[in-house]
Each structure stands twice: as C-alpha cells, then as structure tokens.
Copies of this chain bind each other. A is one copy, B any other.
Amino acid sequence: MDALEALNTRRSIRAFTSRPVSLDLVRELIRAAMHAPSAGNEQPWHFIIITDPAILGKIPDFHPYAGMMAEAPVAVLVCGDPRQEKHPGMWVQDLAAATQNLLLAAHAKGLGAVWVGVHPREDRILPLRKLIEMPEAIIPFALIPLGHPAEKAEAEDRYRPELIHLNTW
C-alpha cells in the first residue's frame, strides 16, 4: 500500500474474524514500531505479544473500552521504560509514535487494529502490570488488538483547513 494512502485511510477496527494472525506478521508490525523516532534515539519501549485467550479475556474486566480484546486473535501491549530516558518527560511521545507506526503497518498489511488507551490511567495500568507480571518500573502504555477485519470502515475526510495558521495565530 502507498504510504500516503495508508496515512489517510487508516481507521479503527474493533471486530475481527477468527482467522489467526501469524507471529511472524506481528513481529513485522513491531519492527515498524521500533523504527519510530524517539528523543535522543532512546527507544524506551517493550512489546508484549498476547495470544493467550485466558489473558485477552481478562482485560475487559477492568478496561471499559476493551470488549473486543476477548475476540481478537492477538494483541500487542506497548509498554514504556522511563528509565531509558535521556530527555525527561518525552517517553510518552516516543511510545505514541511507535504505537502509531504499529497501527499504520497493520493497516498496510490488511489487518484491522485499534489504539486502546492505557496510560495515564492507574485503573488500567495496575491490573495490566499484574496480569502480564511485569516489573514495577515498566508502564503499560497502549493495547492494540489485531485481526482480520470483520467490519468495514470507509476512509473519512478529516482535513480541517480552519486548524491551519500561517506564521502567527
């Protein structure tokens, strides 16, 4: 898929068929995520691939917008490690850029995906950290369920020229 087309046509997909997604394909999406820029090239991220239905099925118990997680064949939990920061306060932006790369790669590969927010909500961070048995220092940042789309989302024109200014406000 052409890059500009991928950028302008990606939409959130929350319904998936039961068709599996290979681990190799998920790793290819994570490869794209790892090529996001980060402050000082610190790469302060980790990626948990979740394929275990027992784990996926528990997420909607504490996350109000994660119902689709129980039917997704796989999800990626993008996590931050602020200990890697050279430029304090920038890790959230680094993680968001990586998350966006992952979503774009999924769309380019014909998969459906959606950005399910976790950070900065403690009521989502704490149960996820426990569920995945991760160290205290690591911060679950965003969940991305992935699968072959079971719904259609047409491209939407979101261009709003009134939000563009020239030289001054």
Binding site for B on A (CB under 8 A): 1-10, 12, 27-28, 30-32, 34-37, 39, 43, 45-52, 55, 87, 89-90, 92-97, 99-101, 103-105, 107-109, 114-115, 117, 119-121, 132-135, 138, 142, 158-161, 163-169
Contact = CB atoms under 8 A, between A and B. Distances in A.
A6 to B, nearest CB: 4
A37 B115 contact: yes
Q: In the complex this chain forms, how many copies of it are found?
A: 2
Task: Summarize A's interface: helix, strand, loop or mixed.
Answer: mixed
Nearest to A81: B163
A135 B165 CA distance: 13
A107 B3 CA distance: 9
